[in-house]
A and B are shown apart, each in its own frame.
Chain A
């Protein structure tokens, strides 16, 4: 069965420091992977997806099939990055349900 693991419930960094939010997955096929962000009192919104290979708000994520990881990185964290981050997996072809990790709460301190 597919599974997404985010090992850190909480992550705290200082403004300007690099940040990495970890995501590991288990899936027998080739999944589609996403990062979602939820700012305080707002709905979840898509941050980025691995197939587009783009950088959003300075964040990037690389799919490492060998390590089955999809870690989210940003070289210089900003206070406005403080939010809840969820890693999610979509099965190839869209024939099965989506799976979310439990989330990591990122706090960027001034």
Chain B
């Protein structure tokens, strides 16, 4: 089944404790991205990747890191989480072709105390 998976689905942590949210897709998509979703602000893109070893900042990259060592995986790293990073995070992927829709993961709800 074609899908995007994220882990963990729910995470409660404390300020400053490094964490990683994993994202994996099995559709051989070139393009992957991370979004955060906050009430009233909609979806905001954090980072995106056009292909292996090619990443770029989205609209709200501060406090986040990503890596793309393999085509299928695109982990999101929070080196020192802060309470303002409490949010719902979505990973997405799509083919790099005009008109190709994005497929979204199920979301990770992160709470930073």
A pairs with B: yes
CB atoms of A97 and B98 under 8 A apart: no
- A11–B31 Cα gap in the complex (Å)? 32
B97 within 8 A of A: yes
Given A46-B101, A102-B41, decide whether A97 and B90 contact each other with a Cβ distance below 8 A. no
Q: List 24 interface pairs A-B (beta carbons < 8 Å), by A numbering.
A: A32-B99, A32-B100, A36-B104, A43-B104, A44-B90, A44-B102, A44-B104, A49-B101, A86-B42, A88-B102, A90-B98, A92-B98, A94-B31, A94-B96, A94-B97, A94-B98, A94-B100, A97-B33, A100-B35, A100-B42, A100-B43, A100-B45, A102-B40, A103-B43
Chain B nearest CB, measured from A52 CB (Å): 8
Chain B nearest CB, measured from A105 CB (Å): 10
Q: Which residues of A contact B65 (CB under 8 A)?
A: none
Which A residues are within 8 Å of any B CB, using their own CB? 9, 32, 34, 36, 42-46, 49, 51, 86, 88, 90-95, 97-98, 100-103
3 smallest A-B Cβ distances: which pairs?
A: A102-B42, A32-B99, A103-B42
Which B residues are within 8 Å of any A CB, using their own CB? 31, 33, 35, 40-43, 45, 48, 56, 58, 90, 92, 94-107
Given A34-B101, A46-B101, decide whether A97 and B48 contact each other with a Cβ distance below 8 A. yes
Which one, B31, B42, B56, B104, contacts A101 given CB within 8 A? B42
CB atoms of A98 and B90 under 8 A apart: no
CB atoms of B107 and A9 under 8 A apart: no
